[in-house]
């Protein structure tokens, strides 16, 4: 039996949000710390969720997405013949050299560095995003030793908003417009403002196929998600959930 039109739209939208959430979480996990066994095994799954995303959001032609997709596929092929502990060690070296201050040039993972005149950690952005998290009764895990405006935390916030959107649609609370606005605001006031510069720096600095790939995907995805929220989401949204 075919579902009623509004039910179909809801299900489609929930599916979109689920895919978005999954991809935000994958990106968050990419930058939160070094790759471990579990995450390495998840890479194929990530690739699959990327395919879903490309289909759902019609973004496969984006240059960054294409480059990222090519590089991550290449990376997965390359590591097939390599022992897992060697892969993890190489990725840990890449992570340390890029993000932990022991490489030739460190790429900062925190928004404050890009959005402040001083280029330092813990500037206005740090306090702003902290407030945004508190607005929806979230806080950074106290055991995670990086600042609140760390890329992984901001991406996790977006994933949480996707989750709240799903929840509101499922429970028909009518709050999905609110969460939609929060996502749009956060992208516009935060991620969209600094991720391009971060990505450019990383891509220019990095010799790591994996982190270059994920950064291309990050930049492409942030851009695409904003487009989606602004245009396609409106279209979808207005089709009566």
Partner 1 sequence: MTRKRKEKDHEVLSRKWAQGVKAEKEAVGYSFCDACNEGPFCGIRFLRKGDVITRIEPWPGFPRSPLCSKGYATLQRLYNPNRLKYPMKRTNPKGSSDPGYVRISWDEALDTIVDHLNRIKKTYGPHAVFFYVGDPKEPRTAVQRLAVTYGSANYGTESSTACRRAAQMAEMLTYGFSTTGNLPTPETKAMLIWGANPAYSGFPFMCHQHLMDAKERGVRFIVVDPRISPTAGTLADIHLQPRPATTAALAAGMMHVLFEEGLHDREFCENWIYGIDELKNYVKGFTPEKVEEITWVPANTIIAAARLYATHGPGSMMTSPQGTTHDSNATNNHRAILMIPAICGYLDIPGGVLKPTYPVMEMSGPWADGPPKFCMREKLNELRDHRLDLNTFPAWVEMFFEVQTGSLVEWIKEERVKAFLAWGFNTMIWPQTHEYQQAIETLEFSMAVDYFYRPQTHPYMDMVLPAAMNYERLAPFAIFDRQLYGRTPVKPLGECKEDWQIALEIGTRLGHPDIFFNGDVEAACNDILGLWNLSYEDLRENQITGVEIPSEGPELYTKHETGHNRPDKKPGFETPSGKIEAVSLDLQKHGYPALPEYKEPMQTTPEYPLILVSGSRVPYITHSKCREDTPWLLELQPDPLLMINPEDAEKHHIKREDLVTLKTPYGQMSVKAKPTIMVPPGIVGIMHGWAKANVNELIPRQFDPISGFPPFKEIICRVVKA
Q: Which residues here bind partner 1, judged by CB under 8 A?
A: 28-29, 32, 34, 38, 89, 92-93, 95-97, 100-102, 104, 106, 108, 110, 112-113, 118-123, 126-127, 133-134, 137-142, 144-146, 150, 152-153, 156-157, 160
Tokens of 68: 């990222």
Distance of CA 206 to the CA centre of its chain: 19
* Residue number with CB closer to partner 1 (12 or 42): 42
* Residue number with CB closer to partner 1 (62 or 146): 146
Least separation in angstroms between residue 224's CB and partner 1 is: 22
Least separation in angstroms between residue 198's CB and partner 1 is: 11
CA distance 130 to 122: 11
* Residue number with CB closer to partner 1 (8 or 89): 89
Least separation in angstroms between residue 128's CB and partner 1 is: 13
Least separation in angstroms between residue 228's CB and partner 1 is: 22
Least separation in angstroms between residue 108's CB and partner 1 is: 4
DSSP label of 142: T
Q: Do residues 182 and 132 make contact, with C-beta atoms less than 8 angstroms apart?
A: yes
* Residue number with CB closer to partner 1 (9 or 165): 165
CA distance 129 to 115: 12
Tokens of 102: 């022991």
Least separation in angstroms between residue 124's CB and partner 1 is: 10
> Cα torsion at 71, 114, 32, 218 (round to 10°)?
-30
State the greatest distance between any 2 C-alpha atoms of the chain, in Å, as a whole number. 61
* Residue number with CB closer to partner 1 (53 or 158): 158
* Residue number with CB closer to partner 1 (64 or 111): 111
Helix (H) or strand (E) holding 39: helix 37-57
CA distance 58 to 52: 10
Burial 107-134 (b: 16+ CB within 10 A, else e): bbbbbbbbbbeeeebebebbebbbebbe
């Amino acid at each position: 039996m075919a579902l009623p039109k509004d039910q179909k739209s809801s299900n489609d939208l929930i599916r979109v949000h689920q895919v978005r959430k999954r991809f935000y979480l994958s990106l968050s996990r990419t930058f939160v710390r070094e790759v471990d066994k579990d995450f390495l095994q998840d890479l194929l799954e990530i690739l699959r969720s990327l395919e879903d995303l490309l289909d759902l959001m019609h973004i496969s032609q984006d240059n960054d997405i294409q480059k990222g997709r090519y590089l991550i596929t290449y990376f997965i092929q390359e590591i097939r013949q390599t022992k897992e502990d060697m892969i993890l060690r190489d990725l840990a070296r890449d992570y340390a050299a890029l993000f932990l201050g022991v490489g030739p040039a460190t790429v900062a993972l925190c928004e404050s560095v890009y959005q402040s005149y001083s280029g330092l950690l813990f500037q206005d952005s740090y306090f702003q995003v902290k407030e945004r998290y508190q607005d929806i009764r979230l806080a950074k895990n106290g055991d995670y030793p990086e600042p609140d405006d760390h890329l992984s935390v901001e991406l996790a916030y977006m994933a949480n908003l996707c989750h709240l959107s799903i929840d509101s649609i499922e429970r028909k609370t009518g709050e999905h417009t609110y969460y939609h606005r929060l996502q749009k605001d956060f992208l516009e006031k935060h991620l969209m403002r600094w991720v391009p510069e971060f990505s450019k720096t990383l891509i220019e600095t990095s010799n790591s196929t994996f982190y270059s790939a994920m950064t291309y995907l990050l930049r492409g995805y942030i851009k695409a998600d904003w487009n989606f929220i602004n245009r396609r989401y409106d279209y979808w949204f207005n089709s009566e959930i």
